[in-house]
Structures are given as structure tokens and as C-alpha cells.
Structure 1
């Protein structure tokens, strides 16, 4: 069994950080990655690495990153053997939760239609052309690729899930030296006050944090002066000051802490020092947007809702509603 060569995958990002004067973060990342892959490796890494390494080499591959489906294309059709090898490797990286993706004609119908979220967010963003972007809780990196497709100069996604990393690398291996990286760390593993990014996205993270105000302050610290925060999270209806804290689970998720009303969320952003905060979208999450597929065969949203009243979770709380807010760092 080959050992995962994390140095090869992350050295371009580390070298970039060194070149722009962020050596402290670069050195900290090296220590964190050593711990992740050498001192305390996840037991499934060999299985995921085998699946990743089994993907066929395809010369001249290109990516289409500015369309709803992040697609890899080849100048010539794949052989039957390559197609079979490709699907077997990709299925070895199941479940696929965020997408959709297409690998040379093999369509991955992910649990989430993440393109729908992007379509709700994108019209309200500052022009991403030439921007340096952080995507917090990026999953397998679908939105990172869409950010690159929108012209970002460099995108860094962070998510501690190592399966997500191998799914991300399965795309990146065909795109060559693209300035898009996924680092398997948590938000709290970042240095304080990085002040590196023009835009920081936090989508689907805030309600997992026991201290939402601390999360907002951490996000603020990643941004340059004048930088833009894009925040998407579960919300509930209610006045300013109202927030739902589930007794135990919400939609079968244990790690859900605070679901604020939109006025409360705007107050949180104001109190943590953001300016010009505004709600740009509020949408109910439907079983068309999040569902079980052939590429994600576990329970999904339909299993987490009250069968007699799909407007409520199985625990009796209001069904999932998500708001997107945009704010700036002064």
C-alpha cells in the first residue's frame, strides 16, 4: 500500500504562502498536515487512496468550471476499460454529498444540488475576478471550483473530512497546476487575524458551532480590510433576539446549536463588527435539493422530516430554511 504523499499535493500552496509573506501560516500547516497524515492517520486513508490511485490517467483533460455541473472533458472518448476503471474508482469514494460532477461522461448525481445554492448566492457577490477566496466547510470543493470558474485568482477551501479531500483531488488530478486547494483543517485551526482573503464563504457551518459569535469573529479575522463575507446558514422565523436551540437533534443532526431569525443574525453581524450586512436570499430546503441518490445511498432529507407534516423536522421543529447574508469588514 502506497503512503499518501501529502507533500506533493500541498507544496504549491505552501510555496505560495511563503512567497507572499505568510510563512508563519505555511509552517503551521506543515505541522498540522504531518499530524493528520503521519502521527495520527485516519484508518480509511488506505481505502480512499487505493480508489483515488485507481483512476485512469487521461491526457489532455480540461475542466468546465463555469457551469452547474463541474465537468471534466477529454479530447478523445475514453475506452470501455478506462470508463469502467473510472467508475469503479469514483464509487470507491462514495458517498458523494456536494456537487454535481461529471467525469468524462460519468455523471455523479450528488446528494445535494449544490448548484442551486450557488445560483442563489452568485448574483449578489462582488465580482470574483482576481480575488483570493477562502471557503470554510467546503466539503468536496464543488463551490471552490465554481469560484475558480468565476475568475478567482486563488481559492483555498478548508474542511476536516478526509473523504472530501480525496474527492477533491480526484477532480484536481486532471486539471494540472490550478490555484485551487483543499486543506483538511477546521476553522479553529487557522491562525487568528490572517487578513489574507478578499472574500470568505461560510456556507452551512454556523449552526454547527457552539459559539456562533466566535465563528463570526474568526471569519472576520480571515478577511482583508474591505473584504466580503458570504454567510449561509439555517434560520427560523422570529423577531430580533429570537434563536432556536434544539433540545437534542435537529433533522437527526446532533451538532446543531443555534438557528437564529434573520433579524437576530443581522444583529450578530453588527455586534461582531461587520458593516452593510444584508439578507440576500431566504429559501426552504426541499427534498429535490437534498436527496438520496445512487451516489449517496444513506438517509437524506426526506428521512429527517415528519412524514405527516413535511414542513417540520422529525423532532417537530420548523423545517430547514436557509438564509444567505453578505457583509463587509470595515
Structure 2
């Protein structure tokens, strides 16, 4: 099911060839069944999805569409939906496969709309998506003409979800790899564009994360950074006492001025803040495709401008910068 050899062949003759010194072994280790008790069940689920040839592939609209309802019958479509729901939770989307609408937790298309007119056009570019999840943005990047997109995410489940989608769109231009940012080689300098969306606040050392992103870019390459930020008048950096919006692994959240300063200290140039949007319960919400709580459960029930812990509610900033 996981065939990364075409990717390795492409990297061998690219600026990222250095990555091949560690990449195949790291991937093999990450995909050992004994590393996750659900691995074999997820793998069986993906492999048992019905084989269907799609009559259409649309990666350019908000709802990614692969296949038409007319490509299959109702019984097969129900079988597909049952299989896909075994891979819950689905976080990023929306995605529609042969008429099965995966109503993901996040309206990720809204985030894409906020950034797409600010980034350098992706046509012909090599792209790294750090924290790619189920690959929704990988597919949007391919739809925008990227030559090669590599997504990394330590969650094997999310990579399985991407494999489920990819089997109906067998591209050799987009890959999701079950690795974290720590598996990137130092000073790779291989990508035209690097995306880091929803990752920075999960890093113990955010500036080290920014330096790693800088070092993966070619000289003059572009960083697209999206992260939670706090209001300018709250504090320079919020360090949650225990949790933030019920998330355990949130280490620090800067305001926009502080984050711009961090980017500058880490060697980025031409830094610009292109959007700040308060996250709404219409953009992040509970659906039948996640089977868990979502944003409305993480906010103060009496004051939606605050998290359940009393901190400013999530707002997300998008920065663009160059190496």
C-alpha cells in the first residue's frame, strides 16, 4: 500500500537528494505495525475500500472532488462510506469521493481562501507541507500546479487517510509521509515553498522550528506560516499554565509583533502578515466524521471570546516570508 520508491527516485536527482540518507529507513521504522495497535486494522480498511475509477478529479475547488456519484451504485457507495468512517477522525477537508461527502472537522478551504492570493503561485514549484494531516492541502497544492508536494505528519492514521484518497488519484506528484519535522535533515535547502500550518504552538522551541523551516528552503524560497496568535494588548507571548482550549501540547502563543520578530531573528526576510481571523464554530466544528468534541466545547460557555481556561479564544495569523 505504501510505495514511496517513485518519490525516492525523484529525490535522487534533486536538491533534496541528501534526505535519502535517512528517509527510507525512517519511513520503514514509522510503518512498523507494532508501533501502533490500530495499524493493521487501518491498513486492512484502506485495502478493502472498493476499487472505483473516477470520471472526474477536481482539486481546485473548496470541496475536493474525486469521482462522481454516477461512477458507482448505492450499495458500493455505502460500502465506501462505511470504510472511510472506520478511519475517523477526519480533520481537514471537505472532501467528496464518489458522492460520499466527508464533512471534516475543519473547513480547511476557508483557510486556503485566506492565503492563496498572497503566496507565490505554486505552478512548477517543489513544496513541503509540514503537519500535512490527511493531505487536503497537498491536493489543493497539486490543483494549483505544484510540481511535487511532500507532506510530513507523524500521525500514521492521517497518512492512512491520504492513502485512502490517493488510491483513487494515483499521482506521483504528491506524497504524505508518516514523519515529524525532527526527521528533516539539517540545511536541506531543497524546497521552493514550505507550509507550516497549525504547528508552531505545538513546538517546545518555536524559534528552532522556524530555523528548521528556513533551512529546508532554497535561497529566496517562501515560507507560509499559519498559527494561533494572541491579541497585541494581551501579552507578548502566552505560555499556558496547563492547557489551551483543552489542548495539552501548546507550549507558547505569541502575538503578531512577537512572531514577526522571531521570524526576523531566524533569518527570514520580506516578512508580511497577510491575515488574522478569529476561529469560528462554523469553521471548526463537531461532525459525524470526527466523533469527538470540537471548538464549541473548548470555549467558555458564557463568553466565546475566551477559552474554557480563560485565555483569549483562538485567532489565527498567516505570515509569508522568504529565506
TM-score (norm 1): 0.94
Candidates 140, 149, 162, aligned match of 1:168: 162
CA distance 1:75–1:239, shift in 2 (3 Å): closer
Structure 2: how far apart are the matches of 1:156 and 1:47? Answer: 25
Q: How does 1:1-330 map to 2 (within 5 A)?
A: 5-6=1-2, 9-20=3-14, 22-38=16-32, 40-74=34-68, 76-238=70-232, 242-329=236-323
1:11 Cα deviation from its structure 2 partner: 1.0
What secondary structure is seen at the aligned counterpart in 2 of 1:168? helix
Write the deviation string for residues 94-142 of structure 1: whole angstroms up to 9, x where unpaired: 1111100000111010000000000001110111111100000111110
1:237 Cα deviation from its structure 2 partner: 1.3
Structure 2: how far apart are the matches of 1:39 and 1:110? Answer: 27
Pick 1 or 2: higher relative contact order, CA cutoff 8 A, min separation 6. 2
Structure 2 residues not aligned, in runs of 5+: none
Structure 2: how far apart are the matches of 1:196 and 1:22? Answer: 5
1:34 Cα deviation from its structure 2 partner: 1.9
Structure 1: how far apart are the matches of 2:26 and 2:71? Answer: 41
Asked if the contact 2:243–2:250 (Cα under 8 Å) also holds between the matched residues in 1, the reply is yes
Q: Which moved more, 1:28-37 or 1:214-223?
A: 28-37
Structure 1: how far apart are the matches of 2:236 and 2:296? Answer: 27
What secondary structure is seen at the aligned counterpart in 2 of 1:279? strand
CA distance 1:44–1:271, shift in 2 (3 Å): same
1:178 Cα deviation from its structure 2 partner: 3.4
1:20 Cα deviation from its structure 2 partner: 2.3
1:75 Cα deviation from its structure 2 partner: 9.2
TM-score (norm 2): 0.96
Structure 2: how far apart are the matches of 1:209 and 1:135? Answer: 16
**Count of residue correspondences:** 323
What secondary structure is seen at the aligned counterpart in 1 of 2:286? coil
What secondary structure is seen at the aligned counterpart in 2 of 1:298? coil
1:15 Cα deviation from its structure 2 partner: 1.2
CA distance 1:21–1:319, shift in 2 (3 Å): closer
Asked if the contact 2:15–2:190 (Cα under 8 Å) also holds between the matched residues in 1, the reply is no
Write the deviation string for residues 137-192 of structure 1: whole angstroms up to 9, x where unpaired: 11111011101101111100000101101110111111123300001100011101
What secondary structure is seen at the aligned counterpart in 2 of 1:293? coil
What secondary structure is seen at the aligned counterpart in 2 of 1:123? coil
CA distance 1:83–1:220, shift in 2 (3 Å): same
Asked if the contact 1:108–1:295 (Cα under 8 Å) also holds between the matched residues in 2, the reply is yes
Structure 2: how far apart are the matches of 1:294 and 1:84? Answer: 15
Structure 1 residues not aligned, in runs of 5+: none
The CA RMSD measured in Å over matched residues stands at 1.6
Structure 1: how far apart are the matches of 2:51 and 2:27? Answer: 26
Structure 2: how far apart are the matches of 1:29 and 1:212? Answer: 24
Structure 2: how far apart are the matches of 1:39 and 1:48? Answer: 10
What secondary structure is seen at the aligned counterpart in 2 of 1:171? helix
